[in-house]
């Protein structure tokens, strides 16, 4: 059921993306530098990376509803524990728990959507992406008002309670999540999946996913801090995320375009837009300039995840899509894992945001030729 997928993705991505909004306040209270703050985000990525292939295998061979509902409580627990974080290590542990639970916020959902809407995968995956970005816009508008009243700990506590409360309707909404129609014995499945892992195109295209993930995580982590560096007030820090969230909704048109002109061409266009926005952000001299270039990045953010999800399905078919996507998510999570601490280190060393944004722009461009390694029946014409 599309509503179930949209709602689960919305809650999971709110928990993931609020960190960039409260990070400057956590750094101040916990005495963290940029590299340490990046490590907290990386703990989420590391747990997400470990859990994602497990979840991917499970949704290919078992009831998808049970898989989703088994992991969702970890999101609520981890975000609630962030409210009590008293040091770098307690924050790392807490956000890691949330990251493990968040592994059901993408791979199982895109697997189900592509089973249900096989003829227009790009279009409906783009619709699913809206739920991952709408939360950024809503939180971006709300945070400047909420944080002064309840603090960053209150934000995490409320989010944890909301995630827990959402489990009740989620159980009902997910009643149409079913086992895969073409499920096969696990031993046979693993034999077929082993052939995927021996495919060089799988690793090259997965490398594209990793590079694009590293690139897009940079503004999602440091936009608020960058805005503060440029002299913006607290309201602008939230508005930057609102720009990402609401402008990225327009990006859902890009995956829909891929149904017509081909996945690889569309992905190349999307990641060129990403690189241009990141390069412009690197050279921003004012908060207005940063907001404008961030809006360019946001267009690509609205399409990037859906395009890669559709691409892996084109390459390996519905029966192996969950496991293949889960393995790609491992590679993407490496980009997610490395981006915040590497960027934070560059900021600490250089004293500016130019170098991390330029690095991310270069990686966005590098992702394009790697994506063209993809092949498959649906890709031959692209």
What residue spans define the domains of the chain? Answer: 2-174+184-379
Whole-number Cα distances in Å, 173 to 10, 68, 318: 14, 12, 23
pLDDT along the chain (382 residues), means of 10: 69 81 90 89 86 77 73 90 94 94 79 68 70 74 86 92 75 56 62 80 90 92 87 74 83 83 90 96 92 93 85 77 78 86 92 94 95 58 36
pLDDT at 381: 35
pLDDT at 312: 82
- Within 8 A by CB and 6+ apart from 155, the residues are 18, 21, 22, 83, 143, 146, 147
pLDDT at 224: 82
Please identify which residue in the block is written with the tokens 């590679």: 331
Checking 295-298 for CB contacts under 8 A at 24+ apart, the result is 295/243, 295/244, 295/247, 297/216, 297/219, 297/244, 297/273, 298/133, 298/243, 298/244, 298/245, 298/246, 298/247, 298/248, 298/251
pLDDT at 374: 66
Query: pTM of the full predicted structure?
Result: 0.74
Architecture per CATH, 2-174+184-379: Up-down Bundle (1.20)
pLDDT at 380: 34
> How far apart are the C-alpha atoms of 219 and 248, rounded to whole Å?
13
């Amino acid at each position: 059921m599309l509503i179930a997928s949209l709602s689960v993705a919305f809650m999971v991505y709110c928990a993931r993306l609020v960190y960039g909004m409260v990070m400057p306040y956590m750094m101040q209270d916990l005495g963290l530098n940029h590299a340490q703050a990046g490590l907290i985000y990386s703990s989420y990525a590391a747990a997400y990376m470990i859990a994602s292939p497990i979840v991917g295998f499970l949704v290919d061979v078992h009831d998808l509803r049970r898989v989703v509902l088994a992991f969702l409580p970890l999101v609520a627990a981890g975000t609630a524990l962030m409210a009590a974080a008293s040091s770098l290590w307690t924050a790392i542990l807490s956000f890691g728990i949330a990251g493990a639970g968040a592994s059901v916020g993408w791979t199982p959902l895109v697997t189900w959507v592509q089973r249900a809407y096989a003829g227009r995968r790009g279009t409906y995956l783009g619709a699913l992406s809206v739920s991952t970005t709408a939360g950024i816009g809503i939180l971006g508008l709300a945070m400047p008002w909420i944080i002064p009243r309840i603090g960053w700990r209150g934000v995490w506590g409320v989010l944890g309670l909301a995630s827990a409360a959402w489990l009740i309707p989620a159980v009902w909404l997910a009643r149409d999540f079913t086992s895969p129609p073409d499920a096969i014995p696990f031993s046979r499945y693993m034999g077929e999946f082993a052939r995927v892992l021996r495919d060089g195109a799988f690793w090259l295209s997965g490398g594209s996913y990793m590079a694009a993930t590293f690139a897009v995580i940079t503004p999602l982590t440091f936009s608020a801090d960058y805005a503060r560096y440029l002299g913006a007030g607290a309201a602008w820090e939230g508005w930057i995320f609102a720009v990402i969230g609401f402008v990225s909704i327009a990006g859902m048109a890009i995956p829909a375009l891929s149904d017509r002109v081909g996945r690889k061409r569309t992905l190349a266009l999307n990641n060129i837009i990403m690189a241009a926005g990141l390069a412009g952000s690197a050279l921003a001299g004012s908060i207005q300039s940063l907001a404008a270039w961030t809006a360019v990045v946001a267009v690509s953010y609205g399409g990037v995840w859906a395009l890669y999800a559709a691409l892996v399905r084109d390459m390996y078919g519905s029966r192996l899509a969950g496991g293949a996507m889960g393995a790609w998510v491992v590679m993407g999570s490496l980009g997610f894992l490395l981006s915040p601490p590497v960027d934070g280190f560059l900021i600490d060393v250089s004293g500016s945001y130019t170098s991390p944004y330029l690095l991310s722009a270069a990686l966005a461009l590098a992702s394009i030729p790697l994506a063209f390694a993809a092949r498959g029946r649906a890709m031959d014409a692209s």
